[in-house]
Chain A
Amino acid sequence: MRRRGIQTVMFFLFRTASAINGLALLIIVFFLVKNGWRAINLTFLTRPPIDSMTRGGIFPCIIGTVYLSIGALAIGLPLGIASAIYLNEYARKGVVLRILRFGINNLAGVPSVVFGLFGLAVFVTWMKMGVSILSGALTLGFMTLPVIIGTSEEALRAVPDTYREASLGLGATKWQTIYRVVLPAALPSILTGGILALCRAAGETAAIMFTAAVFYTTRLPRSIFDQVMALPYHIYVLATAGTEIEKTRGLQYGTALVLIALVLGMNIIAIVYRAGLRRKR
């Protein structure tokens, strides 16, 4: 009886611990919505900031974030899928595979600010791209690469071997099998992973601080060599560097709300879509 009692108490504690995580998420979202929804209107979403960023909107930041994250995906997705194909379809167990995995795991562990330094030293300075969308997108693309490799590999692994055997048995080459059979079967899951990577890039701040983002710019970017404003960096700037931090509190909450609406929205789409895929399987 006592042993059952202990179990009941412990399970209750575990349940509470799990609830704390959900609660933390809800509290953060609640505060942002409560304090931010008033800031959100058509002007806020479609106009640039005015009066030294104490009024007006965040349109340039939204555009900047969209460009940067799509640019990052354009670099990370092809590379990530190709890496995953090599790891899952071609590589044999051994030293090479071990080195590759070790490298990818370590790349995943590199702090975002170190990626920022890397982007500054390599793209901005050495390759002379300057502080630009291109530098930022490359930095973010390489940063999200391990995420894409991970999810793509999982997607490829989930394709049953019978598919490959059937295709090879019909006389297709290895590449034809991968290109015509394995990839199409894995594509939905790979794209879900792509969405998650896109979210990660959209929310990232430290990696674009020295490579792509600026405090304030009056014009929208016209080429990939222009600097941009970005939502995460804008929140940081307004919350820490402005002269009227208290006065722009509403704008800060509003910007944060737009950013998490974007990120959580895309994540929820990915999660629901993935759940649908699993059920189908």
Chain B
Amino acid sequence: MTGCFMGTHQQVKGAIIRYVFFLLAFVSIAILCTILFFLVKEGIPIFGKVSVRDFLCGKYWYPTSDPPDFGILPLIIASLLVTLCSAAVSIPLGVTTAIYLAEIASAKVREIAKPMVELLASLPSVVIGFFGMVVVAPFLQEAFDIPTGLNLFNASLMLAFMSVPTICTISEDAISSVPAELKEASLALGATHWESIVRVILPASLPGVSTAVILGMSRAIGETMVVLMVAGGSAMIPSSVFDPVRPMPASIAAEMGEAPFHSDHYYALFATGMVLFIFTLVFNFIADYISHKHGQVGASTL
């Protein structure tokens, strides 16, 4: 009788504990929803003043002039351009480093090179921004004879080094998890190690590598301090890579301190945050889709 009672007591206790953990795990989702809710709540009022179309496609961002202009097209273009330009550097660099670490490097080299990448990832963004400002900008100004070293090019370069670790770490995981049988089969057929990497290992790990690339770009588009300090801050649509730009995060960070509480400018900045959030959400959706739809090629699918 007692034993039976103890049993149900234990079961109830177990169920409660399980439920508590379930709720705690859902905090992440709750936070994500709260973020979305408050971005919308604080951002929506601007659309009473400016239409969604004028907000997204307006070419002029002069939030403090009279009458103010709330067009974030230059900010969106700036964000996309820094992300694409940084990807042009970070993708080749990140993926080759991943291949090197997973396939080519000896165990000894890997033991030093991997922590290097992790340490690069741990550098605070404000420090990289500071470095871009005081070291890279004067150098660029002199080397290319341009009016300012704080521009699209500099910001993209700094951002590239912030997204390389993301791309590299996730790609390396994908490449290392390609079954050894595939590589061995290729080598046994007479292919060189290089040919096996390009024709067999890389295609097999492509979903993982693509996910890595997208997450790296998502990191670059959301990165704030680097673009705030290094991109130059001019809210114009650039005509060359050496023009100063003002990506969305930079605009939010620079202006939120001065925007009066619940003013149009404040609402507009929250709406910009909403657009930025949607961009990263789309990147994540794509990454999630690729990694689920095209799961890693494994021995079982051969």
User: Which residues of A are in contact with B by a Cβ distance under 8 Å?
Assistant: 3-4, 6-7, 10-11, 13-15, 17-18, 20-22, 24-25, 28, 31-32, 79, 82-83, 85-87, 89-91, 99-100, 102-107, 109-118, 120-122, 125-126, 142, 145-146, 149, 173-175, 196, 199-200, 202-206, 209-210, 232-233, 235-236, 239-240, 249, 252-253, 256, 259-260, 263-264, 267-268, 271, 275
Alpha-carbon distance A195/B113, docked complex (angstroms): 21
Min CB–CB distance B216 → chain A (angstroms): 11
B154 interface residue (CB < 8 Å to A): no
Asked whether B133 lies within 8 Å of A239 as measured between CB atoms, the reply is: yes
Assuming A21-B168, A82-B25, is B31 touching A175 (CB within 8 A)? no
List 30 A–B pairs whose Cβ atoms lie within 8 Å, in order of A's numbering. A3-B195, A4-B192, A7-B195, A14-B97, A20-B93, A21-B168, A22-B116, A32-B131, A83-B21, A83-B27, A85-B21, A90-B18, A91-B25, A105-B288, A106-B280, A110-B35, A113-B249, A114-B277, A121-B39, A173-B14, A175-B13, A206-B224, A210-B257, A232-B127, A236-B225, A249-B134, A252-B134, A256-B126, A263-B122, A268-B115
Asked whether A18 lies within 8 Å of B39 as measured between CB atoms, the reply is: no
A20 contact set on B, CB distance < 8 A: 93
Asked whether B161 lies within 8 Å of A24 as measured between CB atoms, the reply is: yes
Within 8 A of A (CB), among B116-138: 116-120, 122-131, 133-135
Asked whether A28 lies within 8 Å of B256 as measured between CB atoms, the reply is: no
Alpha-carbon distance A235/B97, docked complex (angstroms): 31
Min CB–CB distance A109 → chain B (angstroms): 5
Alpha-carbon distance A32/B128, docked complex (angstroms): 11
Tally of chain B residues near chain A (CB < 8 A): 87
Min CB–CB distance A216 → chain B (angstroms): 14
Query: Which stretch of B68-76, B98-106, B176-184 is in the interface?
Result: B98-106
What does DSSP make chain B's interface, helix, strand, loop or mixed? helix
A106 contact set on B, CB distance < 8 A: 32, 280-281, 284
Alpha-carbon distance A200/B119, docked complex (angstroms): 11
Beyond A174-B18, A256-B130, 12 additional contacts (C-beta under 8 Å) are: A11-B194, A14-B104, A17-B96, A28-B128, A82-B20, A107-B32, A117-B252, A117-B273, A125-B261, A145-B28, A199-B122, A263-B122
User: What residue in chain A is nearest B29 (Cβ atoms)?
Assistant: A103
A25 contact set on B, CB distance < 8 A: 116, 119-120, 123
Asked whether A82 lies within 8 Å of B24 as measured between CB atoms, the reply is: yes
Asked whether A112 lies within 8 Å of B224 as measured between CB atoms, the reply is: yes
Min CB–CB distance A135 → chain B (angstroms): 14
A236 contact set on B, CB distance < 8 A: 126, 129-130, 225, 228-229
Within 8 A of A (CB), among B21-70: 21-22, 24-29, 31-32, 34-35, 38-39, 41-42
Most buried by A among B29, B31, B135, B228: B31
User: What residue in chain B is nearest A202 (Cβ atoms)?
Assistant: B124
B155 interface residue (CB < 8 Å to A): no
Asked whether B194 lies within 8 Å of A6 as measured between CB atoms, the reply is: yes
Partner of A271, one of B118, B127, B135: B118
Asked whether A121 lies within 8 Å of B119 as measured between CB atoms, the reply is: no
B263 interface residue (CB < 8 Å to A): no
Asked whether B127 lies within 8 Å of A203 as measured between CB atoms, the reply is: yes
Alpha-carbon distance A233/B229, docked complex (angstroms): 12
User: Which residues of B are in contact with A by a Cβ distance under 8 Å?
Assistant: 10, 13-14, 17-18, 20-22, 24-29, 31-32, 34-35, 38-39, 41-42, 92-93, 96-97, 99-101, 104-105, 111, 113, 115-120, 122-131, 133-135, 161, 164-165, 168, 192-195, 215, 218-219, 221-225, 228-229, 249, 252-253, 256-257, 261, 269-270, 273, 276-277, 280-281, 283-284, 287-288
Asked whether A259 lies within 8 Å of B124 as measured between CB atoms, the reply is: yes
B125 contact set on A, CB distance < 8 A: 112, 203-206
Alpha-carbon distance A18/B172, docked complex (angstroms): 12
Asked whether B131 lies within 8 Å of A28 as measured between CB atoms, the reply is: yes
Alpha-carbon distance A117/B134, docked complex (angstroms): 28
Alpha-carbon distance A236/B222, docked complex (angstroms): 18
Alpha-carbon distance A22/B93, docked complex (angstroms): 12
Assuming A145-B31, A263-B124, is B116 touching A109 (CB within 8 A)? no
B223 contact set on A, CB distance < 8 A: 111-112
Alpha-carbon distance A210/B270, docked complex (angstroms): 13
Alpha-carbon distance A118/B30, docked complex (angstroms): 13
Asked whether A31 lies within 8 Å of B131 as measured between CB atoms, the reply is: yes
Asked whether A118 lies within 8 Å of B104 as measured between CB atoms, the reply is: no
Asked whether A17 lies within 8 Å of B92 as measured between CB atoms, the reply is: yes
